[in-house]
C-alpha cells in the first residue's frame, strides 16, 4: 500500500514509523494509528443524444488529451446518482435524467504521485433539455458526439471507460 501513497510519517504522531496493515492500510508502530487508503466511489455518465454519445476531451492530467466520460468523485454525504448529475452540470452546464444503471468497473487514478483505487459506476443518461453546451468550462477543453458504432476506443484514457462503453455498445444493440 505504501508504494501507492508514498506515506512515510504517521499523520497522528509524526514519527517515521508506519508499516503496511492488511493490504490497503497503514499502521503506526509507535502510537497504533491506522489509516485505510480505501477505494473511492466515482461515477460517469454515458449521455445519449439524437446523434450519438457525448465524450469529453480531458484538459488536464491525468490522461490529458484523451477522450473521457463526464463524471467524477462522489462527495461526502452524496449519493452516486446526485454526484453524477452534479458533475455533469459542472462540466457541461446541462441537466440530465438517468435512464439506466449500466454497471461498475475498477479503475486507478493517479493524482500527484498518489494512486487512488476507484470503483466507477456507469449510468446511461439523457439531457433534459436540448444539448447546447458549452463554453469555457475549466474542466474541459471540448466535447464531441460519436455514433455508437464509431466510438474511438483506442483514444479513450481510462480502462474502466473502455469497458463501460463496450458494455454500453452491447446494451444499446440489445434494445
Q: Is 13 in the site for Zn ion (CB under 5 A)?
A: yes
Minimum Å distance from CB 7 to Zn ion? Answer: 11
Residue 60 CB, nearest distance to Zn ion (Å)?
A: 34
Part in contact with Zn ion (CB under 5 A); list of ranges 5-13, 63-71, 98-106, 162-170: 5-13
Strand order of the sheet with strand 18-21? 18-21, 25-28, 34-36
CA 52 to CA 46: how far, in whole Å? 10
DSSP H helical segments within the chain, as ranges?
Answer: 2-5, 80-92, 159-173
Measured in whole angstroms, the distance separating CA 118 from the mean position of its chain's CA atoms is 8
Binding residues for Zn ion, total number by CB under 5 A:
7
- Residue that is written with C-alpha cell 477522450 in the block: 67
Q: Contacting Zn ion (CB under 5 A), which of 4, 5, 7, 33?
A: 33
Shortest Å distance, C-beta 113 to Zn ion = 22
Only segment of 22-30, 40-48, 116-124, 143-151 that touches Zn ion (CB under 5 A): 22-30
Per-residue cell: 88? 455533469
In the chain, the DSSP E strands lie at 18-21, 25-28, 34-36, 40-49, 52-58, 67-68, 71-73, 96-111, 114-127, 140-146
Does 125 sit near Zn ion (CB under 5 A)? no
Please choose, out of 21-29, 81-89, 98-106, 150-158, the segment that lies near Zn ion by the rule CB under 5 A: 21-29
Residue 4 found at the interface with Zn ion (CB under 5 A)? no
Residues between 128 and 157 that touch Zn ion (CB under 5 A): none
Is 26 among the residues that bind Zn ion (CB under 5 A)? no
Stretch of 19-27, 31-39, 88-96, 97-105 contacting Zn ion, by CB under 5 A: 31-39
Nearest to 169 by CA among 155, 150, 143, 154: 150
Regarding 64 and contact with Zn ion (CB under 5 A), the answer is no
Q: Nearest-5° angle of CA 105, CA 175, CA 131?
A: 75
Residues engaged in binding Zn ion (CB under 5 A):
10, 12-13, 28, 30-31, 33
Amino acid at each position: 500500500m505504501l508504494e501507492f501513497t508514498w506515506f512515510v510519517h504517521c499523520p497522528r504522531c509524526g514519527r517515521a514509523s508506519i508499516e503496511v496493515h492488511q493490504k490497503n492500510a497503514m499502521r503506526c508502530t509507535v502510537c497504533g494509528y491506522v489509516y485505510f487508503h480505501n477505494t473511492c466511489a466515482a461515477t460517469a455518465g454515458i449521455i445519449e443524444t439524437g446523434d450519438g454519445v457525448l465524450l469529453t476531451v480531458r484538459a488536464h492530467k491525468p490522461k490529458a488529451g484523451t477522450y473521457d466520460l463526464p463524471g467524477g468523485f462522489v462527495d461526502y454525504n452524496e449519493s452516486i446518482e446526485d454526484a453524477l448529475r452534479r458533475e455533469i452540470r459542472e462540466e457541461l452546464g446541462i441537466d440530465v435524467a438517468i435512464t439506466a444503471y449500466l454497471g461498475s468497473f475498477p479503475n486507478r487514478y493517479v493524482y500527484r504521485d498518489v494512486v487512488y483505487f476507484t470503483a466507477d459506476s456507469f449510468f446511461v443518461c439523457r439531457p433534459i433539455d436540448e444539448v447546447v453546451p458549452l463554453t469555457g468550462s475549466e474542466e474541459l477543453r471540448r466535447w464531441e458526439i460519436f455514433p455508437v458504432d464509431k466510438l474511438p476506443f483506442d483514444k479513450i484514457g481510462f480502462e474502466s471507460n473502455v469497458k463501460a462503453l463496450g458494455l454500453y455498445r452491447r446494451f444499446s444493440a440489445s434494445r
